[in-house]
């Protein structure tokens, strides 16, 4: 391997091991995607000094951070890259735009679409594009076009694309992506809806887009003209933060911070979960976010906030709000395999919020827990979302309205 002290046989072995893992865990299901993971050398796209084990772990590799220490660029986790590639269903000769670069994923895409295909990868950070270009050339994927620019506007010269794969979290769907997508094209996009990010597989359906699949995921947030970060209410520095992705929620930072000093109210639901059912959380979280009421998510530093707050999820925990009170989803261990859902409430309305949370958990358990999940549609501005036929969340952004509709017709168990 040129220009590196890394041992070739160990990088080959590490790469083979990663591909085997992705196959075993069913993230990789097609021969073309498997072949790409077996061929593309991931370590050539990682930052200098990283170990082979870290370069080929099924985990994200952070490649740059902003002044606040938060990641601004990374090589995404292989399982998630595999998922997106499989969802895209790319064929040899396909034309693909990747928004958010790094080089590795673009090389995987290029491997799948082959020499007849077209791959454009765009990033807003010139350093990322420079690193991507170097890695692509060293890895033998010179045919990929790496563009420095704001992915909000896509890349018209390469359009139309059979697939647009967005690898940065976005709150909205900018018009350029739809304009540059071929009529039967697929848009894979980590879309943020009320603080919940789901990787959606979107295709055109009538005048809107319909998600064929949705998977919980995390990406660095979009910068540039599409930047629209959620509001962060730091209740105790960065230790306890309520994140509001909803312009309509009227809450007071001071009042919520004061609520944190009130006695914690704990309430427990008869609804339980076993660890094998891990993916149920995705559905419960989105269900709680779908309620027509003030809602946020809680992010905590587990160690520094220990004893004060103990949310079910430390990064994105569903939280019901009033102006001066909050109640988040909690969980406690009943035995070696079973956990019980509940809530912790703070502030003057803690009691009411806790009761509401338990009721919502019960409704989810009876009607939605075992369903395939809500229907998610995206309606570009100028089109009209239909009347809902069940409980729904409508998120209105600058360019599109996102609808999450829960079927009302499911039978209780």
Ligand X SMILES: C[S@@+](CC[C@H](N)C(=O)[O-])C[C@H]1O[C@@H](n2cnc3c(N)ncnc32)[C@H](O)[C@@H]1O
Give the interface with ligand X as residue ranges (CB under 6 A). 72-76, 98-105, 122-125, 128, 150-152, 167-168, 219-220, 222-224, 226
For 150, half-sphere exposure in the C-beta direction (CA atoms, 13 angstrom radius) is: 11
Could you say which of 74, 76, 269, 283 is catalytic?
76
Smallest distance from the beta carbon of 60 to ligand X, in angstroms?
8
Q: Are 371 and 410 in contact (CB under 8 A)?
A: yes
Instruction: Identify the DSSP state of 382.
Output: T
Instruction: Report phi then psi at 366, rounded to 5.
Output: -75, -40
Q: Is 371 a catalytic residue?
A: no
* Nearer Cβ to ligand X (58/410): 58
* Nearer Cβ to ligand X (59/277): 59
Q: Are strands 161-166 and 181-193 parallel, antiparallel or unpaired?
A: parallel
Gap between the Cα atoms of 86 and 23, Å rounded: 12
Smallest distance from the beta carbon of 305 to ligand X, in angstroms?
27
* Nearer Cβ to ligand X (98/245): 98
Smallest distance from the beta carbon of 134 to ligand X, in angstroms?
13
Strand partners for 298 = 242, 317
Q: At what angle do helices 8-24 and 31-39 cross, to 10 degrees?
A: 150
Gap between the Cα atoms of 328 and 161, Å rounded: 42
* Nearer Cβ to ligand X (121/392): 121
DSSP string, 38-77: HHS-GGGGSPTT--HHHHTSSS-EEEEE-TTS-EEEEEPP
Instruction: Report phi then psi at 340, rounded to 5.
Output: -115, 135
* Nearer Cβ to ligand X (7/225): 225
Q: At what angle do helices 78-88 and 104-113 cross, to 10 degrees?
A: 30
* Nearer Cβ to ligand X (19/403): 19
Smallest distance from the beta carbon of 356 to ligand X, in angstroms?
36
Gap between the Cα atoms of 250 and 322, Å rounded: 8
Q: Are strands 295-300 and 317-321 parallel, antiparallel or unpaired?
A: antiparallel
Smallest distance from the beta carbon of 135 to ligand X, in angstroms?
9
Smallest distance from the beta carbon of 162 to ligand X, in angstroms?
18
Catalytic residues: 76
């Amino acid at each position: 391997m040129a220009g590196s002290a890394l041992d070739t046989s160990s990088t080959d072995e590490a790469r083979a091991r990663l591909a085997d893992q992705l196959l075993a865990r069913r993230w990789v299901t097609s021969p073309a995607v498997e072949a790409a993971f077996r061929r593309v050398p991931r370590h050539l796209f990682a930052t200098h000094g990283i170990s082979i084990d870290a370069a080929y772990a099924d985990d994200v590799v952070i490649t740059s951070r902003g002044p606040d220490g938060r990641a601004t660029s990374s090589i995404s986790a292989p399982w998630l890259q595999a998922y997106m590639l499989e969802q895209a269903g790319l064929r040899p000769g396909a034309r693909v735009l990747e928004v958010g670069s790094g080089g590795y994923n673009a090389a995987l895409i290029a491997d799948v679409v082959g020499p007849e295909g077209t791959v454009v990868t765009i990033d807003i950070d010139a350093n990322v594009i420079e690193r991507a270009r170097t890695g692509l050339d060293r890895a033998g994927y010179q045919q990929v076009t790496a563009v420095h620019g704001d992915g909000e506007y896509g890349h018209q010269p390469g359009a139309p694309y059979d697939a647009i794969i967005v690898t940065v979290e976005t709150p909205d769907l900018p018009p350029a992506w739809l304009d540059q997508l071929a009529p039967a094209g697929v848009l894979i996009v980590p879309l943020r809806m009320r603080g919940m990010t789901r990787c959606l597989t979107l295709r055109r359906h009538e005048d809107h887009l319909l998600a064929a699949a949705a998977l919980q995921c995390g990406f660095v947030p979009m910068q540039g003209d599409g930047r629209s970060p959620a509001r962060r209410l730091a209740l105790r520095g960065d230790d306890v933060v309520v994140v509001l992705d909803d312009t309509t929620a009227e809450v007071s930072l001071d009042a919520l911070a004061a609520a944190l000093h009130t006695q914690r109210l704990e309430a427990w639901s008869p609804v339980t979960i076993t660890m094998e059912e891990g993916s149920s959380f995705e559905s419960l979280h989105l269900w709680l976010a779908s309620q027509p009421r003030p809602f946020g998510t809680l992010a905590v530093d587990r160690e520094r906030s220990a004893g004060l707050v103990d949310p079910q999820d430390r990064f994105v925990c569903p939280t019901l709000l009033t102006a001066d009170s909050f109640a988040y989803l909690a969980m406690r261990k009943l035995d070696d395999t079973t956990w019980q859902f509940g809530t912790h409430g703070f502030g003057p309305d803690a009691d009411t919020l806790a009761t509401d949370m338990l009721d919502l958990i019960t409704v989810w358990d009876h009607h939605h827990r075992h369903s395939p999940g809500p229907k998610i549609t995206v309606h570009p501005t100028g089109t009209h979302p239909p009347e809902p036929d069940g409980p729904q969340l409508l998120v209105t952004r600058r360019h599109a309205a996102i609808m999450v509709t829960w079927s009302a017709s499911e039978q209780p168990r």
